[in-house]
Structures are given as C-alpha cells and as structure tokens.
Structure 1
Amino acid sequence: MSGTSLDGVDGVLVDLSRDRLKVVAHVNAPLSQALADELLALNTPGVNEIHRSALAANALVRVYAHIVAQLLHKTGLNAAQVAAIGAHGQTVRHQPQAYDGTGYTLQLNNPALLAELTGIDVVADFRSRDIAAGGQGAPLVPAFHQSVFGRPGETIAALNIGGISNLTVIGPNMADDVQGFDCGPGNALMDAWCQQHREQAYDADGAWAAAGRVHDGLLNRLLEEPYFAQPAPKSTGRDLFNPTWLNWRLDGFSSVAPVDVQATLTELTATACATSVQQYGDDARQLIICGGGAFNGHLMRRIQALLPDVEVDSSESHGLPPQQVEATAFAWLASKTALRQTTSLKTVTGARGARISGAIYPA
C-alpha cells in the first residue's frame, strides 16, 4: 500500500487461512524523493502526462516487487507459497460520477509487471468496478474494518488518517449496518505546509502545530468548503485538498504566522473527523484510529478533546499497528477477489449493489 501521504510503501504478508487473520511480517520502504515528487505532480494536469504516468507506475511497481522479495526473505517462504498480491497502486485522480455521470478513478500501477517480477498472481484495480456501478469507488476498507474491528451489539467507529481521512461506522448489526466515507483532508495539507515552511516531510508528533494557536477566522474559512456539508456517500482526494486549494483560502490571511496556520490545519483535520463521527456515529463510544495520523500525538489529543464521550485510541490496541492496517486491508480484499466474493458496500459507496472489487493478473 502506498497512500496519499506519499510517505512510503507498506507491505505485509498475511495468513488468512484461520478464523482470524494474522500478519506474519511487515516491511516498509521509502519512496525516492524523485518518485514521490513525480507522483505528487501527476495529481494535477501537466506536460506529457501519459508518458510520465507510465514510467512512474513502472518505478512504483519495482518498489512493490522489492518489498515482496523482502517479505519472502524475512519469512523464508517462496513465491509458490503465496496465493496472491493485493496491489492498490497510487491514486493520482479520483473523479467519481464527474463529467459524464460515471466519472473515473486512476491508480498508477502496472500489475502485469509486478506479476512478471514476482511470479505471483496480482490483484489490482480495486475501485473501477464500483464506479462503473454508479458508486464512489471509495472508501474500500469499511468491509475490512467491519471484519476486524466490528463487535455485535456495539457501534464502533474506525478512522484512517492518511493523506485523506476516511471514516467507517460499524453498527450493532455488523454487516447489515456499515457506513463509510472520506471526511476530508488527513495529513496532506499539514504535510505540504510543513514541507514548505520547515523543509520537513511531516510535523513529527504534531509538535510544530502544538506550538501554534488556532486562527478561528482561517479555520472557519477552510470549513466553508462545500465538500464538508455534502452528505455521504462521498469521496475525495488530492484533486480537491491540495496546496492550490489551501493557497486560495489563505488569501486575506497573510498576517497569520506559519506555525499558527499549521495549528489551524491540524484543527481542520480534527474537526472534519470529529464532526463526521458525531453526524454518522453518534452512538459510537469507541473510535479506532489507524494510518499515519495515529502517530500525531497532537492531532490525536485534539480529536479526543472534540469527542469527550468517545474513547479514542490507536488500532495498535486492537491487534493491528496503524501502519499495517491499509496494507492488510488490501491483502484481505485481494483474497476476496480471488474467491469471487463481493467487498464493495452499497451503503458506503452508493453503487447499485455489492460488486467484486479487483482484477486478477495471473503470474
């Protein structure tokens, strides 16, 4: 899994042969700065996009293949002992239902090359079928969240904070009562601002934001974005929440110190996430957080402060470290594809019905 934060690639080897899945091994690899910059640049229109996208996809897949090799070496397994690789690819455009009523989503990937390099079946292109069925194509992880975090008779909320934040609400009836959608920005705007003003990839533990003060006027301006008021199902990405979006809304706020802008961006993410929980999971008493945002102590404290009646904790406390959840989710989704089982949820994406997600590229 390489998410919208562009902070690297996580790979897991997952044993799904038992009643409860088990992560056997985890490997993380950073993206080269050149590849991360190119993937970020491809989120917006540019020169020679088709050529650049194809080469970036090849480069990304070579990172994937390297991670697969490391996982096999680490565990002593060989390619023949692995049923399949779930490879999501890197989302660079996400426009469901736009333009022609169907829209599209684009994840840079080359699953054929990955199958060639690893000798293992590859499952990829997880979103397109749902979009073809009239859905948002995202988020895809709620079915997985329900599988690993759901508890009969209780309402549980699970929040993934990557570049974009997405919420799953699992009702007491479990599979018959799952909602999920993108809340808005996760780390994307905070990371971009930190990179611009401190030349650091991210605000470690939210320490810089914690040193600033939230500017209420700017926060209100940011919260005027119509996406926040849209009802679910809905999904978004860097197509919307990017530095251009931020710079346009900073017009008139040039006197706000950079540290206070960082504090305000952190509060924006916390507010968007907390408001989503209040609107769609008001009876939830537990919020399980995963993704890179779970390591931002200041952000975690702000979400807890905005949800005083909810227990906010990391997925680590529930058996899955935050950085492993999404990669594990796509291993699980790949297994469901191989078994021809549906994983997209109509209640989450708004599609005409549940669909089998993913396409299989045999080795």
Structure 2
Amino acid sequence: MKVIGLMSGTSVDGIDAALVEIAGTTLDLRVELLAGATYPYPDAIRSQILAVCSGERLSLLELAALDDAIADCFAQAVQAIQVDRPLAVLVGSHGQTLYHRPTTDRAMGYSLQLGRGALIAAMTQIETIDNFRAADIAAGGQGAPLVPKPDAYLLGHPIEHRCIQNIGGIGNVTYLPPHNQPDWERQVCGWDTGPGNSLLDLAVTQLSQGKLTFDRDGAWAATGRSCKSLVQKWLEEDYFRAVPPKSTGRELFGAEYLQACLLDASAADLSAADLLATLTDFTASSIADSYRRFLPRLPDRVLLCGGGSRNLYLRQRLEHHLPHIAIETTDTAGLDGDYKEAIAFAVLAYWRKCGIPGNFPLATGAKQAVLLGDVHPVY
C-alpha cells in the first residue's frame, strides 16, 4: 500500500512528507521510502503558530482559520510529493501540535493538533487519518510518544539493545531490547527526554535578532564553552526526575523557560556562543541522564533522527556523555533520519486501516493497546 506520512514537530521547521510503500503487518513489516521532502510553512503561518505556542490568544474564529490554513499547507505537501510519482491511497497526518498537557494521576491529558484531516481528505481526494493521540489519552495514556511501536518493528535488532533518539523541538527515546529475547515486545519503552532543539532555536532567533532560526551544524555553539554549573542547575527541573511514562512540550521547554536560562547566563557572564554551547550541552546531558535514570540498561547503540541529528556539536556532546556507546543515525539502519517521524505516522495510518493497535502501553502509560487515529474518507 502506498501511504503518505505527514509530520510537523515542535520546532515548526516545516512539514515533513514521506511517500512510502508498506507491506506486512508487524514482525514482517516492510517500508520503502519512495520520496521524502520538507515543505516550509509560509512565514506568516509559522510566526502565528510560534506565537500561539508561546501564549498568544486567539478567538475561535482565528483558531478555525489557523486550523484550515495548516490543513491547506499539509494538503499542498501531499499534492507536491506525488508530482511525477505513484499516487498514494492513504494519508497519515500528525498535524501541528499547538498544545500538549500530559496525563497525570489527577487529570486526563489533552493534546491539540491543528490541520484537520477532513479538509486534507477533501482537498487531496485521498482518505486521511489524523488525531492519533486522542485514543491513547482516552485509554489513560500520555498520547506520546507514539513512535515506539513503528520503531520496534522497523529498527529493532536480533541481539543489540538499541535506543532510537529523535531530536526535534522536543527529544524522545524508544528503547528496543533484542528481538531474540523472550517477550521482547513487552519490554519496549519510551518517553520524552526533554528539550531537543526548542530552546536552542529560540535562543538563536533571539541572539541573531531574527536573522537565523537555527544553528546549522551547531557551528555557533561549537565556538563557545559550556557552563557545567548551569547545566547541572537546569537538570534539577522536576521533569527530569519524573518517572516515565511521561511527555512534555513547549509548554515547559519554551519561551518562558528560555528567559530563565538567559537570566542565569547573564548572571554567569556568558557570551552568546557560551550560552548556545551550554544549551546544547543541556540537551545532550538531559538525554544521557534520562538513559541512566530510567533504562533497564544502557544501549549498545543509539540511532539518532530528527533535525538535531544533523547538529554535529550536539552529537559530539552526546558522545561525550555516553562514552563507549555507538552513536549513529537511523540512516545507517536503512531508515532516513530526516523523515523517520513522517514514516512512523504513515505506518500508524496503515495499521489503523489494518485494525492493528498503534501504541505500546509501556511507552505511553495507556491501560491497553488501542487503535489510533480518526478516519476521514473521501466523499
């Protein structure tokens, strides 16, 4: 089955689209990437998304208009990636997260993704599945991370313990025990590790007065010096001690959190480059710290994906904090790291059509495995 997966993460870099051919179900799952591309949002829409994520208020009229505008961008991505290529019969769209409130002992979680699937289906004339997080939340889960199950069947290994570490705006990890272990599927776990690129991108935008939106290859940060005492201070944030399953977003690691970091950096007399080096080290340290706290054992290999996997300085800091562990990208395992998340949502849509649950309860905290996603047929 030819499926298009669509994903735009908390960095709001653009819409990742992956056109894939999928066969099999779980243990025999096979995915071939036919095409992958990233389609940037128009500047006005991206700015509005970031403003709303930072607390700007919208009327219901404005919210509806933004929902439609995002759906239009997603539909255009579907149409663009199919030009001169085989046509898909299904679209799996994660949408654009505007708000995520994790599930707690006292309250069910809430997660809002805009870019309504019904409009994507109407515009593209392709059946579309969206709203993947809602069913897991209804079952008592966090609604995140949802990639562990696709990761398990696409990137697991017969004898290696692996971690699949996505570094988007927020970082998330999937732990995969070897497939040769009895009942290995019940040991797969995952959680949001904390900030990925979110604080870095916000800092770069502010420090460059909007001339830059990210630090390419970590080149600017690499000219600075990390302040270890600040990294340790920031790691005292309660989130890092909370036991998984857990999830987070810009609601915590966003503009307000960065302002506190900037105050600390100013008090420590850090230069702009030193601040970026420290924030980069903070992301790497938070990932390594969560592995040591919560994994049943450290992995033999870490496979990186997402935009942060291309940040050479971030990767160096991760290698520093996880010595003696092979750190590569998912590309080395045959899955394009730039589109791995979009591919995952193509798989989740495919499983929804096949009647196969898409969540791993140990990763999300749901009471049971459930079908994920709302189906929007073509009329």
Cα distance change, pair 99–106 in 1 and its aligned pair in 2 (3 A): farther
Q: In structure 2, which of residues 315, 328, 331 is the aligned counterpart of residue 313 of structure 1?
A: 328
Instruction: Look up the equivalent residue of 2:136 and give its one-letter code.
Output: D
- Deviations 1:287-324, CA, capped at 9 Å, x for gaps: 00000011100111111111111100011111122111
Mapped to 2, the partners of 1:52 and 1:222 lie a distance apart of 36
SS of 2:53 mapped into structure 1 = coil
Structure 1 residues 166-185: Cα deviation after superposition (integer angstroms, max 9, x where no partner): 00001123322101000000
Larger CA deviation: 214-223 vs 267-276:
214-223
Q: Does 1:8 align with 2:14?
A: yes
- Once the 2 structures are TM-superposed, how far is the Cα of residue 147 of structure 1 from its aligned partner? 0.9
CA distance in 2 between counterparts of 1:49 and 1:138 reads 28
Task: Measure, in 2, the Cα distance between the counterparts of 1:252 and 1:120.
Answer: 50
Q: In 2, Cα distance between the equivalents of 1:158 and 1:252?
A: 32
Q: Is the 8 A contact 2:302 2:328 kept in 1?
A: yes
What is the CA distance between 1:281 and its match in structure 2? 5.3
- Aligned residue for 1:221? 233
Task: Name the amino acid aligned to 1:92.
Answer: L
Q: Does 1:90 align with 2:100?
A: no
> 1:252 & 1:299 partners in 2: Cα distance?
21
Matched, 1:165 2:171: yes
Mean Cα deviation higher: 267-276 or 56-65 = 56-65
Instruction: Map residues 251-266 of structure 1 onto 2, 5 A cutoff.
Output: 251-254=263-266, 255-266=269-280
2:145 corresponds to 1:134: no
Task: Could you tell me which runs of 5 or more consecutive residues in structure 2 were left unpaired when the two chains were aligned.
Answer: 1-6
What's 2:191 paired with? Answer: 181
Q: Does 1:301 align with 2:306?
A: no
Question: 1:221·1:249 contact (CA, 8 Å) conserved in 2?
Answer: no
CA distance in 1, matches of 2:272, 2:117: 41
Compute the displacement of 1:100 (Å).
5.8
- Which whole-Å CA distance do the structure 2 matches of 1:104 and 1:32 have between them? 27
Give the structure 2 partner of residue 66 of structure 1. 76
Aligned-pair CA distance for 1:112: 0.9
The worse-fitting range, judged by mean Cα deviation, of 252-261 and 229-238 is 252-261
Change (3 A) 1:281 1:295: farther
Question: CA offset at residue 249 of structure 1?
Answer: 3.9
Aligned to 1:277: 291
1:309 maps to amino acid: H
* Cα offsets for 1:168-206 (capped at 9, x unmatched): 001123322101000000001001100111231100000
Could you say what the CA RMSD is over the residues aligned between the two structures, in angstroms? 1.6
Pick from 27, 48, 60 the counterpart of residue 50 of structure 1. 60
Counterpart of 1:250 in 2: which secondary structure? helix
How do residues 106-145 of structure 1 correspond to structure 2 at under 5 angstroms?
106-145=112-151
Structure 1: give runs of 5+ residues left out of the alignment.
Answer: none
Q: Distance in 1 between matches of 2:348 and 2:17?
A: 14
- What is the match of residue 200 of structure 1? 212
* Shift in Å, 1:98: 5.3
- TM-score, normalisation: structure 1: 0.95
Separation in 2, partners of 1:328, 1:206? 26
